[in-house]
Structure 1
Amino acid sequence: MEKKCSLYTLIIVVLTSLIIIALTTTVSRIVFRYGWKFRYMYYVAKEKYQGYGVEDDANNQRFYRFDAFISYADQDGKFVAKLVNKIENEHNLRLCIHDRDFIPGTGIMDNITNAIHCSRRTVCIMTSHFLNSYWCMFELNMARMETIYSRNGGNVLFLIILEKKAMKNIPLYLMDLIKNQSYLEYLADDRAEDCTVLVSRLGEILKSNRYEF
């Protein structure tokens, strides 16, 4: 009798363990595949609840508060500040950067999602610092979700490559952007002190109504 009870107990433990492992594996796969989607949907829903959503104009066209959200690592802030200042002044565009335009007292993730959702495009300044930054990669992936789930598949994500090694280390899921020419290379060796070429080219892109660049 004791042997039977021990056997039943062992069977129950084994079956329970197998069920837990199967459930854990399934949940992990779902989170891995749809994790960014879940995050994006959560923050967009939260944004609408708080009244920060995108408004429509008289012709039912989406009205964006910013022409572009500029995503960059803090280590590249000096270059980005110069770039943003020139583009805003020379091309009459309104750009969003985190150290100036994020809403004080609002969570960083809420600010990021709000900035992307309320900007016509998202421009990522790709450097090794960017690729090593959790928050920069969060911004990049949120912009990808924005493209898929809020813009009818229209590409709103644009990359500016500032380092050759950043180009080599770009995640595989961004290679479609490279293939579609949705990027500009502005490498250190070619960089003019006043970044005139980049300002001109990026200004033209951001003023364009096309999603494909």
Structure 2
Amino acid sequence: MSLSKPTLFIKGNPFNCECTHISSLKWLRENQNKFGDLNETYCIDNQAISIANFFQEASFVQFELKCQTKEWLIASSIMLFSVIVVVLVPVVIKRYRVHVDYLILRLRSRWRGVMRTRYSQSFQFDAFVTYAEEDYTLACHTFYQVLSNRGLKISLPDKDFVPGLSTVEQMLQCIDDSRKVVFVVTEKFLENGWSSYTVQMVVTHAFHNKRERSIIVIIKDDIPIERMPRDLKFVWWSIVSIRWPNCEENMGSFWDEITAALLHVPNT
């Protein structure tokens, strides 16, 4: 009796004929001569056709095509998802740049053990003033000097920011150290792209710390409310807006109104 070519009998064994086992099925098909009862062995998911019939050319080719279609569908789905992620992520980051920056800043503060506090009755400054670079003289001379002469402590980027350090971090720190945040809105302010970023960052920070009522907007050049930065218009209901007068005789009441607004403590 020769044992060089043994014959295997596998009738009754469960055979999974799904695409996930295609490699095993191909090997079994290529070695059919080693099995003696494939015509009596059936797939567990299809008892109507034997393994021998399943391995016939037409039937098995159809099975391979079906498996290739599934593999291609999975690969295509992965590729499509990857393309969508690659395209959308930069768009989302650009659209929500301020929120991403703010989140990163918050995480950095946590890692350093620096936690920004909620609203407090004690502040280093009465106001942090933000303005367009072109309005330096208006903000740093006229605005700053008048309010300082009235006993108010004013924080300005050009006065309090340290060169070389993060502008955003210093801005948020100055906001935390100030009772109010003042925007000097002029034509130059509306034209300045950095001011738009500043507005978004201040509004985001104010809402996060429940200080949206601490924002004051000084409107100059007869600018209508419709032209205000979008992020300011979203919170217009909660802020104080004061118009810069066109005539000199009204300047006294104008400074009185600003002083009262800066010293007012909102309900929390």
Bin for the TM-score computed over the shorter chain: 0.7 to 0.9
The answer to whether the 8 A contact 2:203-2:231 is kept is no
Alignment of 1:1-213 (within 5 A): 11=73, 14-24=76-86, 27=89, 31=93, 35-46=97-108, 61=120, 63-81=122-140, 82-90=142-150, 92-150=151-209, 152=210, 154-165=212-223, 167-180=225-238, 182-186=240-244, 190-192=246-248, 195-210=251-266
Relative to structure 1, is the Cα distance of residues 52 and 23 closer, same or farther in structure 2, using a 3 angstrom cutoff? Answer: closer
SS of the residue corresponding to residue 105 of structure 1 reads coil
SS of the residue corresponding to residue 15 of structure 1 reads helix
The answer to whether the 8 A contact 1:69-1:121 is kept is yes
The answer to whether the 8 A contact 2:212-2:239 is kept is no
Relative to structure 1, is the Cα distance of residues 74 and 27 closer, same or farther in structure 2, using a 3 angstrom cutoff? Answer: same
Q: Give the TM-score, by structure 1 length.
A: 0.74
Relative to structure 1, is the Cα distance of residues 88 and 50 closer, same or farther in structure 2, using a 3 angstrom cutoff? Answer: farther
Q: How many residue pairs were aligned? A: 204
RMSD after superposition = 3.7
- The Cα of 1:104 is off from its aligned counterpart by 3.2
CA distance in 2, matches of 1:65, 1:52: 18
1:104-123 Cα distance to aligned partner (Å, 9 max, x none): 33122222222222212110
Which has more radius of gyration? Answer: 2
Which range is displaced more, 190-199 or 72-81? 190-199
Percent identical among aligned pairs is 18
CA distance in 2, matches of 1:8, 1:48: 47
The answer to whether the 8 A contact 1:55-1:62 is kept is no
Q: One-letter code of the match for 1:85?
A: Q
Give unmatched runs, 5+ long, in structure 1.
none
Structure with the larger RCO, 1 or 2 (CA within 8 Å, 6+ apart)? 1
- The Cα of 1:17 is off from its aligned counterpart by 3.6
- The Cα of 1:164 is off from its aligned counterpart by 3.1
Give unmatched runs, 5+ long, in structure 2.
1-60
